[in-house]
Amino acid sequence: MREPRGPKDEASREFFRSIGLVTQIGLTVVVAIGLGFAAGFYVDRWLDTDHTFLIVGILFGIGAAFWNVYRLLLKGFIPPGSAGDDDSGDD
C-alpha cells in the first residue's frame, strides 16, 4: 500500500507539470513556424515565385503558434468547471 502524498510530492508534481507545459509551448512554436516555413518554401518552388509565399507561410506559422500557445496557457491555468470551460453542458 502506498503512503499518503505529502507537500514535497505535490511540489514535485507541480514542478514537473510546469516543465511539461514549457516544453509543450516551445515545441508548439517551433513546429507551427517550421510548418509555415516549409509550406511557403515549397509553394514558392512550385509556382516559381520569389519568397512571397515563404513570408506568408511564416506569418501564418507565427499566428498559429500564438493561437496554440494561448490555448495551452488557458488550459493550463483555468481550473476545470470554471466559467472559461467549454464542457460545462450549458447550451
Residue 35's domain comprises 30-77
pLDDT of residue 47: 94
In a domain, 40, yes or no: yes
In a domain, 3, yes or no: no
Q: Where are the alpha helices (DSSP H) in 2-51?
A: 7-47
In a domain, 4, yes or no: no
In a domain, 73, yes or no: yes
Angle of the 52-77 helix axis to the 7-47 helix axis, nearest 10: 160
In a domain, 48, yes or no: yes
In a domain, 35, yes or no: yes
Q: Average pLDDT by consecutive 10-residue portion of the chain (91 residues)? A: 66 86 93 97 94 96 96 77 56 49
pLDDT of residue 74: 87
In a domain, 69, yes or no: yes
All cell numbers assigned to 12: 514535485
In a domain, 7, yes or no: no
Number of domains, the chain: 1
